[in-house]
Amino acid sequence: MAHHQRYYHQLRKGEEKAGALMEGNGDESQATAAFVRENTKGFYHFKRGRPGLLFILLFSLLFCCLIWDSRLLGFRPSFSLLYSFRAEDEEMGSQLGSNTPICSSISDGTICCDRSSLRSDICFMKGDIRTNSPSSSVFLYTKQNPKSSVDHLHSFVEVGKEHDDQNQLQIEKIKPYTRKWETSIMNTIQELNLISNNKNLGLHCNCDVWHDVPAIVFSTGGYTGNVYHEFNDGILPLYITSQHFNKKVVFVILEYHNWWFTKYREIISLLSNYSPIDFNGDKRTHCFREAIVGLRIHDELTVDSSLMGGNKTIRDFRDLLDRAYRPRISDLVQEERREVQLKIQDQPSSSRSTLTASIESGERVRDDQPKKPKLIILSRNGSRSIKNEDLLVKLGEEIGFQVEVMKPDRTTELAKIYRALNSSDAMIGVHGAAMTHFLFLNPGCVFVQVIPLGTGWAAETYYGEPALKLGLRYIPYKILPRESSLSEEYNRNDPVLRNPEGVGKKGWQFTKKIYLDNQIVKLDLRRFKKRLVLAYEYSIARRNGQLEL
């Protein structure tokens, strides 16, 4: 899992000062955007006066044809995106006193960008909004007078530069991905130009598709492909940013992947009633009255209720997952029943009734007997796998668990993983991206995280602390040097074994190579048994209603 601890420390330090701070991959799109930038540089200091020929040619290329008043097109929004955000912001502002959020209210025909967070930028647009994928741009027009002609231009405005408030062009640049603080990965994210024309230019691009609901624009590039990042950097921020629209919102996606949409279709369908738009793949001009560019993110794998309208929490997100996967789980159950029936039919007629009776009898016995607590072991292959996993399974069964071993990979259907964990009482796994699946456990269940050498900080930050916020009974198990395969490669006095935290200060790549990519765990089962017994006791107490959730 690609993390940089030093970046995260900068992030934490910066967040403490956030109150005082104010701050792609498509070849054709990037080339066009570069052309636009190069040909606008000469206007940065252009003062009052008549525009030149280059100015008119530039806008002819960008906007293509005559501007019509949006009223002539009969376009009316069904509700106000900014009103929805303003309602949340006012509620939050009343809770936080004078800390009124940036962009809590914007007027028609304007762009407002909140760059105060070190995690992500987010911009709000309201008015006549039109996408232009070839130039990696989203244009915003004010109400136009079709009889007016080009008058004059004050300046083109770069992000962060002072500018007049009258008759000007505003340009904001944004990379709509939630790891703003991690420069290396942000360099791979496509940049968007948000351009607001605050003067009657008389030129525009015709709309190919009108939408009567707002847009949320974000990227599925970066670390997408890693389940931790898919949830932490994408799905959870998308929930945070969009849930208050009650599905009346369109998702416009940069660096779109078909497999990503297929994988998260059930969740996306509960956040939006509309098919997502592939920004780079769909060359049509999509028009909106309101848009959010970028996503809000709170912390690692969590939802901060103090920043949410209605005090939504990570448990509300967990409820969303439950609603998303329930229909598919029902289908899986039906498929399994059909498979059993087919097996029965394949048997000779003389033995069908006996087999059917045996199955029904077995089901009655299982229903009558008290069920054992269910333990899921999320198994790994290669690095950070458990060498004596088979003995761990036997130990769990001896203690009293019904044990199931799962080996999820990128092709495993999430609904199947959710089904297994949602019906379990406890989960064990070694630190890694797969621990993200703790989100599938019910509050009150047990999460045991095995923490290899050199991964303590990351294990607690990315999974341990968020698990507690979800309401899980979190039990960390830090292995000793003798439980690591590194003890066979290094002298027992080597800093790699004795001082992993010090070794980690040498840099992420060094840490990744030693502790993440080349370490196998062999559990001391006598020592680990204490955690497993504790997990069992928690599970029994929860089943008996002896624990508060």
User: Could you report the per-residue pLDDT of 274-292, keeping only the tens digit for each?
Assistant: 999 999 999 999 999 999 9
Q: Where are the alpha helices (DSSP H) in 97-235?
A: 183-186, 227-229
pLDDT at res. 357 = 64
Q: What is the pLDDT of residues 122-176, one digit of tens each?
A: 999 999 999 999 999 999 987 643 333 223 322 333 333 334 444 457 899 999 9
Query: Which pLDDT score, from 0 to 100, does residue 549 have?
Result: 57
Predicted pLDDT of residue 339: 82
Could you give the CA distance from residue 237 to residue 222 in angstroms, rounded to a whole number?
A: 15
pTM, 2 dp: 0.78
Instruction: Provide the phi-psi class of 127: left if phi over 0, else alpha when psi is between -120 and 50, else beta.
Output: left
DSSP type of residue 516 = I
d(CA 444, CA 464): 14
- The per-residue pLDDT for 102 is 83
Report percent pLDDT > 70 for the chain. Answer: 70
Per-residue pLDDT at 149: 28
Q: Report pLDDT for 546.
A: 80
Convert 371-402 to b/e letters by CB count within 10 Å (16 or more is b): ebbbbbbbbbeebbbbebbeebbebbeebebe
pLDDT at res. 311: 93
Q: Which of 272, 188, 192 is nearest to 233 (CA)?
A: 188
Residues of the chain where predicted confidence (pLDDT) is lower than 70:
1-100, 143-168, 198-204, 345-347, 349-370, 548-549
Candidates 467, 431, 471, 437; CA nearest to 449 is 431
Residue 364 is predicted with a pLDDT of 53
CA distance 86 to 439: 30
Produce one character per residue of 145-166: b if its CB has 16 or more CB atoms within 10 Å, e if not: eeeeeeeebbbbbeeeeeeeee
**What per-residue confidence (pLDDT) applies to 181?**
95
Q: What is the pLDDT of residue 166?
A: 45
187-205 per-residue burial string, b: 16 or more CB within 10 A, e: under 16: eebbbbbbbbbbbbbbbbb
Quote the tokens at residue 374. 């269910």
Angle at 238 between CA 213 and CA 189, to 5 degrees: 105
